[in-house]
Structure 1
Amino acid sequence: MNILAISGSLRAGSHSTRLLRTAAGLTDLHLWNGLATIPPFNEDHEDEPPQAVSAMRAEVARADALLIATPEYNGTIPGQLKNALDWMSRPYLEGVLVDKPVAVAGVSPSDYGAEWSQRDLRKVLEVCGARVVGRSLCVPRADTAFDENGQLRDPAAQTTLAAMVDELRALAEARKAVLV
């Protein structure tokens, strides 16, 4: 199973990336680090995208599933993540997100765990044709949510993360079985 993990944060000490590293302990996944290299979406270059976009699309296309962890900036998803999703959604109805199993998690220093950004991210993914798993994870108070080893302190959050990863794997395995 090839699960590609995408952090919506560019920050080196990102809580979203920390959450994805925690998820890596539950399943084999590859953390994609190319978000900062993606230029602004420009429909004029849709048919001949920049190299960084082509590389991103190829990596997403190879993945059986995506696990995206997003912070919340001004009540929604970060612009750079939305930009990458716009590139992934093209060409229209043929983008690499069509029928792709995706799980969404959010991490925020607020009491709400990036709940709003997750809602917006789910909407964008669904419009792009992705198959978004029902379960999600909100990790509030990110500054204290992880222990010194980078693991979630809250056992309920650990259980939810494991169940979400299991649901993502099951959806991806069902999709693979249909494609064979």
Structure 2
Amino acid sequence: MTDNSVTPVTRIAVLVGSLRPDSLNRRVAELLVDRAPEGVVLQIVDGLAEVPFYDERLDAETVPAPAARLRQTVAAADAVLAVTPEYNGTMPAVLNNAIDWLSRPYGQGAITRKPFGVLGTTPTPYGGKWAHEDAVRSAGIAGAVAVDGGIVSQSALEVDVLADDEVIDRFLSVVQALAAHQPVAA
């Protein structure tokens, strides 16, 4: 007898808060894509630099193509993961802008009811803690659901975050928390 059962797949859209292609947080996101647990697919949402700053006048019948792609990608995902550094004590503007676009229309945006987690690293003792807290708060106001165990802020001062198995396991714990989160009813 053949087992024809299909393992369910959890799709996680990854928003990277740094625009530099070789940024440490981008490399962390790529590492997570490569190391995703079985049954989990992470997709880095490219093109955030092309999404115009949110302006209600642009959010009309025809939405700018980069914003429409962002919304479509996140709407098709089961969860959202932000991987971000911290700029001046808060999240980068590109991440904030993405959340702004994903929050509209209010109560029905692409991020509404999506499990949300955030992780990242900075060369500071706090590892991006304030940016991560701000991202969770902003995404929550936009309608996302912060997942228990869904925040990891890692200092890069004394550890190679791309090679340290303990750090990578903490990052992967956020992915696992997102994948294990039960859907939120509409």
- How high is the TM-score relative to the length of structure 2? 0.85
Q: Where is the helix percentage greater, Structure 1 or Structure 2?
A: 1
2:56 alignment partner in structure 1: 43
Equivalent pairs, count: 171
Structure-to-structure mapping, 1:112-123, within 5 angstroms: 112-123=126-137
Q: Alpha carbons of 1:6 and 1:142: their partners in 2 closer, same or farther (altered >3 Å)?
A: farther
Question: Structure 2 regions of 5+ residues with no counterpart?
Answer: 1-9
Question: After superposition, what is the alpha-carbon deviation per residue over 1:1-23, rounded to whole angstroms, capped at 9, x for unaligned?
Answer: 21111111001211111111222
Alignment match of 1:10 (pick from 19, 23, 39): 19
Q: Is the 8 A contact 1:104 1:118 kept in 2?
A: yes
Question: After superposition, what is the alpha-carbon deviation per residue over 1:121-157, rounded to whole angstroms, capped at 9, x for unaligned?
Answer: 01001101101112211121268523xxxx341x432
Alignment match of 1:169 (pick from 172, 176, 179): 179
Question: After superposition, what is the alpha-carbon deviation per residue over 1:25-55, rounded to whole angstroms, capped at 9, x for unaligned?
Answer: 1332111111111011111122232111111
1:20 alignment partner in structure 2: 29
Q: Which runs of 4+ in 1 moved over 3 A?
A: none
Deviation at residue 65 of structure 1 after TM alignment: 1.1
Q: Is the 8 A contact 2:48 2:66 kept in 1?
A: no
Structure 1 vs Structure 2 CA RMSD: 1.8
Q: Is the 8 A contact 1:107 1:142 kept in 2?
A: no
Q: Rg: which structure is higher?
A: 2
Q: Is the 8 A contact 2:81 2:118 kept in 1?
A: yes
User: Partners of 1:142 and 1:70 in 2: how far apart?
Assistant: 16
User: Does 1:145 find its partner at 2:160?
Assistant: yes
**What secondary structure does 2:57 align onto?**
helix
User: Does 1:158 find its partner at 2:173?
Assistant: no
Question: After superposition, what is the alpha-carbon deviation per residue over 1:87-124, rounded to whole angstroms, capped at 9, x for unaligned?
Answer: 11111111111101111102111111100100100100
Q: Is the 8 A contact 1:139 1:145 kept in 2?
A: no
User: Partners of 1:50 and 1:62 in 2: how far apart?
Assistant: 18
Q: Is the 8 A contact 1:3 1:30 kept in 2?
A: yes
User: Partners of 2:163 and 2:42 in 1: how far apart?
Assistant: 18
User: Partners of 1:152 and 1:123 in 2: how far apart?
Assistant: 30
Question: Structure 1 regions of 5+ residues with no counterpart?
Answer: none
**What secondary structure does 2:119 align onto?**
strand
User: Partners of 2:121 and 2:18 in 1: how far apart?
Assistant: 10
Q: Is the 8 A contact 1:65 1:101 kept in 2?
A: yes
Q: Is the 8 A contact 1:22 1:152 kept in 2?
A: no
- How high is the TM-score relative to the length of structure 1? 0.87
